[in-house]
Homo-oligomer: A and B are copies of this chain.
């Protein structure tokens, strides 16, 4: 392979290979608290959480959201998944010459309302314009910083009642056998909403993207405590998240297919298109690894929130094997391997 393919940007194993082979080789070695090579949701430097995401979603507007809402939510969520409170965001916008200012205004207003929902501000920005044809409409990079707060400290204190730990942040490597896996709601909504809105896949659905900032519900859950790691299962979906946890925590994960919440419309769209709902991006869901002794409290708190009404316990961490294994509805077992990437290009 000597050229970049779409799969290199799709969040799965192809991207991991590219990062390990070329990026970490030359740019790793910072020795900071959570460095680049942790490949977690964010890095941590001197107690400051730092993350970045570029957004190239197509179309710019889709059922349930738009690139502005996605750009703010994506970065807020990457900070929140570490257990941190977002402090400020940056926004780097690259336009194609000729982009309609009226549409830009709609995107900026959407960024504003999403920032208000999350309780965060964009404090720095940059604008570039390239000539017609050198970019498809508009891309937005959002970066951001976050900090520890009392919710994270409370969460760690709750864990310490049950287990000796030496971590200070919610990391992919924190899971141990016996921990329970929760998902906050239905999977695959964002991916199917995007495909459906493109029209060129020959189907329409009523599915709406779940894109939303999750930092407020995350803070409530941390105040309950007992959470080892959270992740918004974006590119590569639930399958990618669970495989990353399994690899970095050196544990196995059992998942019960019948417990995974999924809308009928998503299921039928995936069957028609021949794609796996476990591998599709979500933009407003949380997968949570939680101490067994705290799992009911966390589930209760989720079910009382608008983001978590359909939350379910979907699995358990184990030492019996070191892979992700799906227990199917018909009683079989299937190993869930890391996806090459998300089956849907330009999903975020």
List residues of A whose CB falls within 8 A of some B CB. 1-10, 15, 18-19, 22-23, 26-27, 29-30, 32, 34-36, 42-43, 45-46, 48, 50-56, 87-88, 90-102, 104-105, 108-109, 111-112, 115, 121-131, 133-136, 139, 141, 143, 145, 147, 345-346
Contacts and interface: CB of A to CB of B under 8 A. Distances in A.
B141 A4 contact: no
8 contacts: A5-B97, A5-B98, A7-B129, A26-B108, A45-B145, A134-B136, A135-B139, A143-B143
User: A55, A88, A91 — which one has the most chain B CB atoms within 10 A of its CB?
Assistant: A88
A152 to B, nearest CB: 16
A123 B53 contact: no
A15 B23 CA distance: 33
Given A3-B99, A5-B129, A36-B124, A143 B23 contact: no
Contact of A52 (B8, B91, B98, B130): B91
The 5 residue pairs across chains A and B that have the minimum distance between CB atoms: A9-B129, A30-B121, A143-B143, A52-B90, A43-B123
A111 B43 contact: no
A35 B123 CA distance: 5
Contacts of A4: 95-101, 104, 129
Contacts of A15: 127
Given A45-B123, A126-B141, A130-B346, 15 more contacts: A2-B101, A4-B100, A4-B129, A9-B95, A10-B129, A27-B111, A30-B88, A35-B121, A36-B124, A43-B124, A50-B145, A51-B90, A54-B128, A124-B143, A135-B139
